[in-house]
Amino acid sequence: MTNNRTPRGKGSEVHGIFEKIAGYYDRMNFVMTLGRHERWCREVAARLAPPAGGQLLDLATGTGVIALAAARSYPAAAVTGVDFSEEMLNRAKAKPGADAVRWQHADAACLPFENESFDGITEGYLLRNVEDLDGVLREQYRVLKPGGRIVILETCPPSGLVKPVVDWGVRVFVPLLGQVVARDRSSYSYLESSTLAFKSPQHIARILSGLGFKNIGWRKKFFGTNVILWATKPR
């Protein structure tokens, strides 16, 4: 079953940006995180801990870094990587090991899967790019089996004593790197603003709790600008 709904509103703008940056997305992630991005993706997969032979879903799979890490970590599992950007999926499908993942074009706001279809869900940098944060997380709760876990990699607004320095660094260097590395300052100006304007882990945790998730936790990364969150759907 597929879902080819055309993004509208903010979704249309974000879709256009990710179609545009697909060719240099991995390179920019490497540069912006000083090489840490793939390590975080492996940690996301490792925190999933699904049952043997489980069904796993990676949302906003992009170029497939988390999905491929999950496929390597759990070779007996069936991994599905979903994204609304066809260009991102094309990049993912061309990577070594891509045959181990089922790639699907779909919108995270309206997932084309039955209730309680997956034993675990991962996602990378999805939530800051959606219009209805609660609705997208509600969809994940719907398709997750009882006892299943979600693990989220997301940007995080800096806080504490380092906030002024990190704010300045993100505002200046992310668009500059976009210009130097990708020749695309405008797209990375959007990514800079969405990073600084996004919700705190505490806010996401409150939404997850309100939806019914339990055992919620998180760990910040890279001067507090990124975070890995996890939560479990009760049995």
Q: Which of 150, 88, 95 is nearest to 123 (CA)?
A: 150
**Residue 83, annotated as binding a ligand:** yes
Work out the angle at residue 83's Cα, subtended by the Cα atoms of residues 79 and 84, and round it to the nearest 5 degrees.
Answer: 155
Q: Which two tokens stand for residue 146?
A: 């009882």
**Residue 63, annotated as binding a ligand:** yes
d(CA 41, CA 168): 26
d(CA 133, CA 122): 16
**Residue 99, annotated as binding a ligand:** no
**Residue 26, annotated as binding a ligand:** no
Instruction: Report in angstroms the alpha-carbon separations of 224 from 40, 163, 169, 218.
Output: 13, 9, 13, 11
Binding-site annotation, residues? 63, 83, 107-108
Binding residue numbers for S-adenosyl-L-methionine: 63, 83, 107-108
